[in-house]
Structure 1
């Protein structure tokens, strides 16, 4: 009897457990309604499609009818209403809902700031705030929301799964991408949209970009100048100096295409439209073995690469140009992205254009004044990009893209010979860079993937200059034609270890041509280089240790020469706040720019691309090491990095000397060493930063006297201070200033400013780069206001001013023989931009 009671007790417990499990199991709402109708003898009136796909937990059997209806109202987005004791109506509360969520990382559940939140089909989007939170209103019930963030797997959720009150937002965890060991270390670096990776590289995400002083849009090459160690000695993006290097020592890639031209308005505006750019990775040292060229830095621009099946786009206009872009889904697997930008300077000459024109064309014949002639000029620029994205299947992707950049200048002079007679001349300048690329990504197994890349790049600059005084036509041309193929194979051994093995082939052809009509002269020089490279790399990231070590073997077929390049990048976290980093690399470069004559290409563009000869123009090589300390706590980042860099194989012709070595051919080197410091504090509404760079940079030419002297871009001290502040949710302001030493220049010998050499009179220069220009100072500011014109159209107004105090800055100084007195030298000063306002208005949908 006792046994039977015990068995009975166990059976009752088991029944209770089973009943408890059944009550927590979700069933279809249709089934629940049918059960309630039987239980309470009522009838529900509803549309089948409104309840067909809804599942809920069964209400308790002990509920009354009123309690049951209240329960259904709390668990669904439907309105259940009892008309009487017999009938209950069911209706949809609203066709649209408000959603919210908090996006977190899977590692330490940290908020992902600036994560992208996109409502598929309608194109409505937002980004997460400083706490990783987002809210969206008027979202269709059946819509799908995609959440994405750099370095993490994207996630899609139904809108009704995110339906909640502001007090109870759903947490969404994004998983780190398996193929990307190089995780984000700092989510907000100076401003939203700038991030820091574990390998020390800096990433600019243009879509999430906040605001920087003086900028009205996320100008890619202007933005990276906020980083320590990145300067522009003449405030031109066509002359970016990274740790003392020249501009041609920066490897610039756009969707894996090597680019040979970077600026509009001859250096004042970036030539790369940011609207379809996904991210820009800037590496100053410790570069991956995958990349060569660019002995000073690598600037790797990548456009959007995901098929979203969402039609979106935008357009904007500022006081210099207008642009538009579109993302057009064709099928579920095929998408087309296109963008275009064109200057409006030939239609409307704004105050901004006037300032840019004066800055770009000063010290050229375009801006020369004379009572004996009248001049006019017509300048415009444009750029365009297009990309085709095709997902063959889940494991294979094919991409094809094109980029075009163009600057065009037509210049005319009307010389007044006498009261009844004039003579005219027309000159023109054209600068173009076209790039064509394609790549194929294949995921063969969960561990093995390949990436095949191919591209063709063509750069042309052509000038035709007719000189009335000598009845002489001067025609100049510089052309670069490069093709490249690269194959990367990645093997992911586990979540912490990845191997890279690859091969790269490049064929680079260069042409330089000068033709003079009177007296007749013609010079054409062509060079072709064939380069091969094998590279291998291992990347390890676990807990507090990040390591990337690689080797690259380059073979120059023309010279039958091998160059071996090791690379190392280590970051070791020693506590929750402190980390140490060590970086080193050997790199080479087989193309360079030279300055032939001061009147090259109308004096506007004075540089030509040439290929190395391994003798007169040797292969440039660099060796660089750096060591740094990082501190991170409570959104305060402090970094200090010491670096030492030697670049060998430079020539006098590519340094643009204004001294006694100006017309002398010699090969040499430069050594740059210094310290970079950055302190950055971010909060929900603001970010403030201070950066300081101390460096020394010296040339060494064994055949010169003196053999060592300061580099042309030897800027010993450089300080940048800035902040941005969110005044209201949709209004932001940024203010910042730059101070740095003036760059070196060479004075003539006092009392004997000129010297006779044969039949030529030349400036008699003193000790090279002994003097320095006055300190450079500039204060910039920007204001950004965004608002919604409609649920799917976002409008943005931005105003900015460069050099708000109108400080008179000299950026270059040289001397030339006085045409009226051969014993005297005239001082020529080039000025920076004065007070330059600009504003833009954009629409995005």
Structure 2
């Protein structure tokens, strides 16, 4: 036992010696001189500025005085001369020297072309050449040089460090700049690749994404539903409800382009390819003053923005679609990123497709049974993106983007007439969103930078519906055109304090058109709205305090209306474990969706975008505040937040009522208040979490009786839990589930289910939203395996299953008059996805 102790002690001593040798650092020359003076009882005579910036290795303690002086002369550009046994003079051999270096990036170890080399305090600078090399002559020996490159952390060196008597240029490695490193609060939030920032926003890093239950790819619009306060009452990403809001109250940006469409397959699949999406930031409250619209949340998607000079890409296929992406270097300063995805469902009908189809088209004429007619349908979707990256120099970056999203449905119907002739007609539905954007980033000096952003977004939904029985042709169109420009100016006083000043202009135009052939009817409505905004913000982050305070001024030219919107976001650390969080914001929204209940758009897509009129459709405004406490210790994160939110200016046609208010025009508000809780424990191999939300959400419409009643998305209790585990190095599993109360619905009055209104018979509804569907419960699971096909090609297989227990969940219930008995109302139930498997295979190089 004693021998073992001595052996351990010996090994520790050896390791300490080794470690000390490996980490030895050079010593300031001033300290070396003081040590030599004590050792030999002598005095050095020198100018402090000549030696202040010089560092060297200490001379050997066994050297004589002359050997020590010779050593100092060989290691510095100074002349050490002994006058006698008591005094040594120090003088500068050359007041100026030549320096050189080779600048590399830390990621790819590639040479950085055009990196800036600045000699501080004098007007002398250069940039690196095509080999990443620079050289400067006649540099003061005591000068300091700053090496910088846009997108990388700057470094400083003394001229003496970059001098080499043998003309060997020093290798200089610049680390990738991540201005948000100091903003990251939690590195692993639920699963690898999900992070939480100090300002409370949730960030998805797609490159580092693990897996979440049921998912086969890093889809933020699905992933965000694991967070407290975020629901999708009909399990669709096209209907995400954040703290009681409707989906159109979420501002969705893709590389600063405002998007009006978010899902394929009418909301079951995200329309944004995650492979070129670098990060996604989701904010529920306390949003930056830079952003308006989205009175419920802001979802920012950013694609890769760094010129890497490396050719790379990938491709994948799953049960629904196939995709590919490429990063193509054109020159050292110019690069092209492209991606594309298309459904394969028109070629192969997988079980996943069948489940999605039945879920999307239930209760529509597409999926209706008919004894007399033969019907068939063809559905497909695709999306594409392209981004051009150009680095003019280390101070100026230019980017240009394009994104296209398309859903198409063709529906054929044929019937045999009384004369035994076959009549065939085709209906179709097209849904598109295309966006163009560009921005110019400039670093004018170390403290001042700017970003000029421009974009154009166009959304179209067009439907032609032929009805064989009545020989009627219905054509409908909804178009949104938006042009925007924004100037952001950033001023950084120091590492702790930043200022933002900006201006934004938007022009939004909308078209709604309806045409009926028999009897003929036509309606066209166009609206245009101009909006100007000034915004300013200060951000402070030091020690235990994070503070962001902003103000936004919005001016609507058409209405001559000014809206003032303050924003605040504070996080105060009380100790190493506890912190308090306060958030608040005023926001507005000038676009909204109205819901149609007839067979518009083939009964599939029943929402259309409209502009506010400030009368019938007012500008929606929100006021929201939240206060919470956070606990973080040993990778256990616990959060509890209370929130209160009022949204005014909503319309009855926007809410999709299935009750007596279904065809009534009125303006009102809703108030959501509640409590959110999240506990998340992470370790090297696993992460486990549980979230709970309690909330009450009530409408208030003065024109209705009753004026106050539960919101359509009033989910009082909601629980989400999950477990992520690295079984092996390359094998991961995630299992999780969700349970929540069923959403409200309205029943007809029992015994008096219909009522006559002129020539029309209508459902006679009872008190609005006075009943609830059965509780919703679902269990999901995913399995991921990574492997290498070669040294440069990586592959992965991911399998997922949604609703693994095949739970029979209802997501909506409404009533309609029985066509065979006008005194009876038929109950219509919409069901969620049943057991839905999916599998994907990907390669990356």
Give the TM interval when normalised to the shorter protein: 0.7 to 0.9
Instruction: Tell me which residue corresponds to 1:339.
Output: 339
Kindly state the Cα deviation for residue 835 of structure 1 after the two structures are TM-superposed.
0.3
Kindly state the Cα deviation for residue 224 of structure 1 after the two structures are TM-superposed.
1.1
Kindly state the Cα deviation for residue 264 of structure 1 after the two structures are TM-superposed.
0.1
Q: Is the counterpart of residue 264 in structure 1 residue 268 in structure 2?
A: no
Task: Give per-residue Cα distances to partners, 1:359-406, cap 9 Å, x unaligned.
Answer: 000011000011111110110000000000000100000000000000
Conservation of the 8 A alpha-carbon contact between 1:405 and 1:432: yes
Conservation of the 8 A alpha-carbon contact between 1:799 and 1:839: yes
SS at match of 1:274: coil
Instruction: Tell me which residue corresponds to 2:124.
Output: none
SS at match of 2:225: helix
Instruction: Tell me which residue corresponds to 1:17.
Output: 68
Kindly state the Cα deviation for residue 225 of structure 1 after the two structures are TM-superposed.
1.0
Instruction: Tell me which residue corresponds to 1:211.
Output: 211
SS at match of 1:207: helix
For structure 2, the residue ranges without an aligned partner over 5 or more in a row are 1-39, 44-59, 77-99, 112-130, 134-149, 156-171
Kindly state the Cα deviation for residue 508 of structure 1 after the two structures are TM-superposed.
0.2
**Distance (Å, rounded) in 2 between the aligned partners of 1:675 and 1:116:** 44
SS at match of 2:228: coil
Kindly state the Cα deviation for residue 725 of structure 1 after the two structures are TM-superposed.
0.4
Q: Is the counterpart of residue 193 in structure 1 residue 193 in structure 2?
A: yes
Kindly state the Cα deviation for residue 652 of structure 1 after the two structures are TM-superposed.
0.3
The equivalences for 1:638-657 within 5 A come to: 638-657=638-657
Instruction: Tell me which residue corresponds to 1:309.
Output: 309
Q: Is the counterpart of residue 528 in structure 1 residue 579 in structure 2?
A: no
Instruction: Tell me which residue corresponds to 2:291.
Output: 291
Conservation of the 8 A alpha-carbon contact between 1:600 and 1:607: no
Bigger mean CA offset, 291-300 vs 11-20: 11-20
**Distance (Å, rounded) in 2 between the aligned partners of 1:767 and 1:487:** 50
Task: Give per-residue Cα distances to partners, 1:479-511, cap 9 Å, x unaligned.
Answer: 000000000001101110011110000000000
For structure 1, the residue ranges without an aligned partner over 5 or more in a row are 26-52, 54-114, 122-141, 145-149, 156-171
**Distance (Å, rounded) in 2 between the aligned partners of 1:275 and 1:611:** 34
**Distance (Å, rounded) in 2 between the aligned partners of 1:298 and 1:265:** 23
**Distance (Å, rounded) in 2 between the aligned partners of 1:6 and 1:800:** 77
**Distance (Å, rounded) in 1 between the aligned partners of 2:241 and 2:175:** 37
Kindly state the Cα deviation for residue 178 of structure 1 after the two structures are TM-superposed.
8.2
Conservation of the 8 A alpha-carbon contact between 1:151 and 1:184: no
Instruction: Tell me which residue corresponds to 2:555.
Output: 555
**Distance (Å, rounded) in 2 between the aligned partners of 1:832 and 1:597:** 20
Q: Measured at CA, do residues 176 and 568 of structure 1 come closer, stay the same or move farther in structure 2, by a change above 3 Å?
A: farther
Q: Is the counterpart of residue 405 in structure 1 residue 456 in structure 2?
A: no
Kindly state the Cα deviation for residue 18 of structure 1 after the two structures are TM-superposed.
5.2
Instruction: Tell me which residue corresponds to 1:663.
Output: 663
Q: Is the counterpart of residue 537 in structure 1 residue 537 in structure 2?
A: yes
**Distance (Å, rounded) in 1 between the aligned partners of 2:259 and 2:204:** 19
Kindly state the Cα deviation for residue 469 of structure 1 after the two structures are TM-superposed.
1.1
SS at match of 1:452: strand
Instruction: Tell me which residue corresponds to 1:447.
Output: 447
Conservation of the 8 A alpha-carbon contact between 2:108 and 2:308: no
Kindly state the Cα deviation for residue 431 of structure 1 after the two structures are TM-superposed.
0.2
Task: Give per-residue Cα distances to partners, 1:434-480, cap 9 Å, x unaligned.
Answer: 00000000111110111000000000000000111111000000000
**Distance (Å, rounded) in 1 between the aligned partners of 2:243 and 2:266:** 22
Task: Give per-residue Cα distances to partners, 1:517-572, cap 9 Å, x unaligned.
Answer: 00000000000000000000000000100000000000000000000000000000
Conservation of the 8 A alpha-carbon contact between 2:414 and 2:468: no
The equivalences for 1:38-53 within 5 A come to: none
Task: Give per-residue Cα distances to partners, 1:614-635, cap 9 Å, x unaligned.
Answer: 0000000000000000011111
Instruction: Tell me which residue corresponds to 2:505.
Output: 505
Instruction: Tell me which residue corresponds to 1:133.
Output: none
**Distance (Å, rounded) in 2 between the aligned partners of 1:550 and 1:763:** 49
Conservation of the 8 A alpha-carbon contact between 1:119 and 1:143: no
**Distance (Å, rounded) in 2 between the aligned partners of 1:572 and 1:175:** 30
Conservation of the 8 A alpha-carbon contact between 1:289 and 1:537: yes
Conservation of the 8 A alpha-carbon contact between 2:474 and 2:515: yes
Task: Give per-residue Cα distances to partners, 1:330-370, cap 9 Å, x unaligned.
Answer: 11110000000000000001000000000000011000011
Kindly state the Cα deviation for residue 422 of structure 1 after the two structures are TM-superposed.
2.5
**Distance (Å, rounded) in 2 between the aligned partners of 1:748 and 1:445:** 68
Q: Measured at CA, do residues 537 and 470 of structure 1 come closer, stay the same or move farther in structure 2, by a change above 3 Å?
A: same
SS at match of 2:789: strand
Kindly state the Cα deviation for residue 174 of structure 1 after the two structures are TM-superposed.
9.3
Kindly state the Cα deviation for residue 421 of structure 1 after the two structures are TM-superposed.
2.9
**Distance (Å, rounded) in 1 between the aligned partners of 2:274 and 2:333:** 24
The equivalences for 1:730-745 within 5 A come to: 730-745=730-745
Instruction: Tell me which residue corresponds to 1:491.
Output: 491
The equivalences for 1:150-165 within 5 A come to: 153=153
Instruction: Tell me which residue corresponds to 2:832.
Output: 832
**Distance (Å, rounded) in 2 between the aligned partners of 1:373 and 1:311:** 54
The alignment's TM-score, normalised by the length of structure 1, stands at: 0.82
Q: Measured at CA, do residues 6 and 192 of structure 1 come closer, stay the same or move farther in structure 2, by a change above 3 Å?
A: closer
Kindly state the Cα deviation for residue 418 of structure 1 after the two structures are TM-superposed.
5.1
**Distance (Å, rounded) in 2 between the aligned partners of 1:804 and 1:18:** 79
SS at match of 2:470: coil
Instruction: Tell me which residue corresponds to 1:30.
Output: none
Q: Measured at CA, do residues 744 and 580 of structure 1 come closer, stay the same or move farther in structure 2, by a change above 3 Å?
A: same
Conservation of the 8 A alpha-carbon contact between 1:178 and 1:495: no
SS at match of 2:727: strand
Task: Give per-residue Cα distances to partners, 1:189-214, cap 9 Å, x unaligned.
Answer: 00010000000000001111001000
Bigger mean CA offset, 625-634 vs 597-606: 597-606
Give aligned pairs, total.
Answer: 715
Instruction: Tell me which residue corresponds to 1:568.
Output: 568
Conservation of the 8 A alpha-carbon contact between 1:206 and 1:275: yes
SS at match of 1:661: coil
SS at match of 2:266: coil
The equivalences for 1:603-622 within 5 A come to: 603-622=603-622
SS at match of 1:357: helix
Conservation of the 8 A alpha-carbon contact between 2:745 and 2:768: yes
SS at match of 2:207: helix
Instruction: Tell me which residue corresponds to 1:372.
Output: 372
Conservation of the 8 A alpha-carbon contact between 2:106 and 2:175: no
The equivalences for 1:378-389 within 5 A come to: 378-389=378-389
Task: Give per-residue Cα distances to partners, 1:554-611, cap 9 Å, x unaligned.
Answer: 0000000000000000000000000000000000000000013331200100000000
Q: Measured at CA, do residues 381 and 10 of structure 1 come closer, stay the same or move farther in structure 2, by a change above 3 Å?
A: closer
Kindly state the Cα deviation for residue 13 of structure 1 after the two structures are TM-superposed.
2.8
**Distance (Å, rounded) in 1 between the aligned partners of 2:322 and 2:63:** 77
Q: Measured at CA, do residues 835 and 11 of structure 1 come closer, stay the same or move farther in structure 2, by a change above 3 Å?
A: closer
Kindly state the Cα deviation for residue 729 of structure 1 after the two structures are TM-superposed.
0.2
Task: Give per-residue Cα distances to partners, 1:113-145, cap 9 Å, x unaligned.
Answer: xx9955659xxxxxxxxxxxxxxxxxxxx999x
Task: Give per-residue Cα distances to partners, 1:757-805, cap 9 Å, x unaligned.
Answer: 0000000000000000000000000000000000000000000000000
**Distance (Å, rounded) in 2 between the aligned partners of 1:327 and 1:175:** 21
SS at match of 2:807: coil
Kindly state the Cα deviation for residue 15 of structure 1 after the two structures are TM-superposed.
3.6
Task: Give per-residue Cα distances to partners, 1:21-70, cap 9 Å, x unaligned.
Answer: 79999xxxxxxxxxxxxxxxxxxxxxxxxxxx9xxxxxxxxxxxxxxxxx
Instruction: Tell me which residue corresponds to 2:467.
Output: 467
Conservation of the 8 A alpha-carbon contact between 1:309 and 1:329: yes
Kindly state the Cα deviation for residue 420 of structure 1 after the two structures are TM-superposed.
3.2
SS at match of 1:494: coil
**Distance (Å, rounded) in 2 between the aligned partners of 1:573 and 1:204:** 24
Conservation of the 8 A alpha-carbon contact between 2:106 and 2:174: no
SS at match of 1:191: coil
Instruction: Tell me which residue corresponds to 2:778.
Output: 778
